[in-house]
Structure 1
Amino acid sequence: MRTRLRLALLATFVIGLVLSGLGSVVAKSPEQRDQINAADRVAQRFEADVDDYVTSAAEKIKSKHDADQDGYPALLKVVQAQIADAPRLRPGRTTAYGREHSNAFKDADNHRASALAPLKDLETYLRTQAIPNSKFIAAGKKLVALRPGTLLGDEPVVNGDPLRKRVLPAYEKARDRMKDQEAPKGAELLRLDLMTYANDIISMTKDGAKKIDEQKAFYFQLGDRPVELFKRLAAMETAIQVQVTQQVEIVAAAQ
């Protein structure tokens, strides 16, 4: 009987402790609630400030892109500046207790990250793809834009020196510039074709100079290769323009 009584008293004591503990967790004093509410208000104002800022930033980014749709380095600077200057959550007139127990305050940084995500996606694409890939395209265009006849001019070619002094250096320089560019993902074959084209013209120029020295007939035979290569480069350039425009529109529509 005594054992049962002791167990009953012990159970009552334990339950009392548990309920007391729950009460201390759930129940908050008016002062604590005020601290949480203060943190909530700071978080709400911060989120509103972030939304207003991103709206303004999006307008600046779109305006810059509309003014120069191929000016990726300048656009990148604007995007990076807008990301760097975005508002950051500050404690303000809050307490550590209020910040710790305010769900709104704890979620505020997530709201900021979500609001800035389209800007960061655009920044990443410009920095890692649009700009380096555009350099590859520019190098390729300079190569295929070369024309031996233009380089030689209107003067009669009576020996191989004009080919060696005017045509050969121009193509070698263009080839070296192309060689310095990494092939964008999916453009490895295009890079190979551009390098092959450059090497073929260089070999053709050397052989032509030798033939002219030997008083033999020689004509540059480029065929449609430069035109076809240019079309492939132009298609790649258009794809970048479309992607950048789409991402700018996503930024503009995010708010």
Structure 2
Amino acid sequence: MPTPEAVPAAAAAAIDAYPDSYDAPVRRRLDRRALAIGGIGLGVYLSTLLATIPARIVAPLPGATGTIWHGAAPVDGGSRAEWRWSPLASLTGIGFAADVTVSGPQTALTARALLRPGSMLLEDAKGRAGFGLIAAIARPSFACDLSMRVDLARVAIGGGKQGADGRIASEPGNCGPFGGAPVAVPAMAFDVRQTPGMAVINLAPAGERRRPFIVGGLTEEGKLRLIVTAEGAAAMPFLSPPGGMKIETEL
């Protein structure tokens, strides 16, 4: 029968046979801590690297300055676009996301932008815009002297889900062809409403949606169809021949 001293000795021998059993939990905690610190360090390094990428990589426009993190670029018509990169939105949106402001003559706009190869998504575009900004984007064959209030929830161009939803309301002003005499135009409302498969477009005098100057639609595939009505042609002769016209194109 073992002596009283033998049992503690056997227990001690058993413990000594697995010397790693006590420090293994500590070692696992240290490993996780090292991984966490390494991940944070890598994230900081990548963020710093991205922050130094020139702005012209994101906005290939003449005069783009700054970096991908915070940059700016001039826009035709005398406006200036400025952006601040949003890392979290870029991650969740799988693209380059940024908070954008545009300022210039009669223009003070804010929006959220998401850029992917071949597509662009604008959300919550709000503020005021002069016609110069619209002309810089759409390149129309006429010029206007008027101001607009912008409230667009969504504009998607390119990719497989094109469309828009929101309103642009213009004040009374003057418009005309380049080099031609301008004519007075009334206050108007440009409404676009997203429906399944198509964004429905309506341009009409303010408060008179049922008297459209232009109606049409944009499909998710990018097919744009517009009809200038006879009333629209009479009010905006710089836009259409008498009697109206149809326009079909692809974005």
Is TM (by shorter chain) over 0.5?
A: no
Q: What is the TM-score of this pair, normalised by structure 2?
A: 0.27
Q: Over alpha carbons, which structure has the higher Rg?
A: 1
1 or 2, which has the higher strand percentage? 2
1 or 2, which has the higher helix percentage? 1
Q: What is the TM-score of this pair, normalised by structure 1?
A: 0.27
Larger RCO, structure (CA 8 Å, separation 6 or more): 1
